[in-house]
Amino acid sequence: MPFITTRDGTDIYYKDWGLKSGPVVTFSHGWPLSSDNWEHQMFFLSAKGYRCIAHDRRGHGRSSQPWSGNEMDTYSDDLFQLFEHLDLKDAMMVGHSTGGGEVARFVGRHGTSRVSKAVLISSVPPLMVKTATNPGGLPIEVFDGFRAGLLKDRAQFFLDIPSGPFFGFNREGAQVSQGMIQSWWLQGMTCGFNGAYDCVKALSETDFTEDLKKMDIPVLVLHGDDDQVVPIGASAQMSSKLVPKGTLKVYHGGAHGLPNTEADRVNQDLLEFLES
């Protein structure tokens, strides 16, 4: 399995699919998942001639589980080192949920010299937590509840999330996929415990406002209007206005896990944006 070792000694696992000479698309996954959650998109685009690269964030999946560095600056620096290692250029970056924050912070810290476009799917920017200047955010108690659930019974908590709000399976008439639930659970349980715990703060309390303003490339924002994890009003509707060249596309009735529940539609939207 391919790994890179970062400057602080953390091993980062990555997948590199498709033609090495093809246009590059990178994928940043959500909490507490791994690069496996992008398999539908990576297979689809690789078959279309693109080079698709996805990594397991530090503390997640097959990457190392360091005690430190589980925050957005280091996440984005790890990804930049992967770009340097593979000499990636003119890439379209795609991020889901926490991964969207990683993409925004990557651009905020490292610029767009290696990036041509970006896609934020069900993503956490500009800021998840409610503050005096962000009254539409979620109360800190929501994220305290995440941490409490991890500490009390992580295995059960990681069943409850995909069984309910993540995929919208708690909605009346929803077609529940036990396979999606079990895949989410398996990916979540491979996440290091402290990595999962620390990442809650990273995804909820990091302010990406200034990062978004620096995204001087075309940015496509995809979000479901029934997202129970990252409500659209405090995220996509604001992010799409903060980026200089943003386009918002709303999935009516869409839940948080769009790359899974709306895989075919997401695939087509990514392809159209790539080819535009």
CATH class of 3-275: alpha beta
97 is catalytic: yes
pLDDT(170) > 90: yes
Structure confidence at residue 252 (pLDDT) = 97
Structure confidence at residue 101 (pLDDT) = 98
Q: How confident is the model at residue 162 (pLDDT cuts 50, 70, 90)?
A: very high
SS3 118: strand
46 is catalytic: no
**Angstrom distance (rounded) from CA 139 to CA 251:** 25
Q: Which of 97, 122, 123, 235 is catalytic?
A: 97
Tell me the mean pLDDT in the region 140-144. 96
Q: How confident is the model at residue 131 (pLDDT cuts 50, 70, 90)?
A: very high
pTM for the predicted model, two decimal places: 0.97
Task: Report the amino acid identity of residue 75.
Answer: Y
Domain ranges of the chain: 3-275
The mean pLDDT of the chain is 97
Q: How confident is the model at residue 195 (pLDDT cuts 50, 70, 90)?
A: very high
**Angstrom distance (rounded) from CA 212 to CA 185:** 31
pLDDT tens-digit map of 211-231: 999 999 999 999 999 999 999
**Angstrom distance (rounded) from CA 79 to CA 153:** 31
227 is catalytic: yes
Measured between its terminal Cα atoms, the distance across the chain in Å is 34
pLDDT(1) > 90: no
**Angstrom distance (rounded) from CA 110 to CA 249:** 26
Structure confidence at residue 114 (pLDDT) = 98
Q: Which of 96, 227, 235, 269 is catalytic?
A: 227
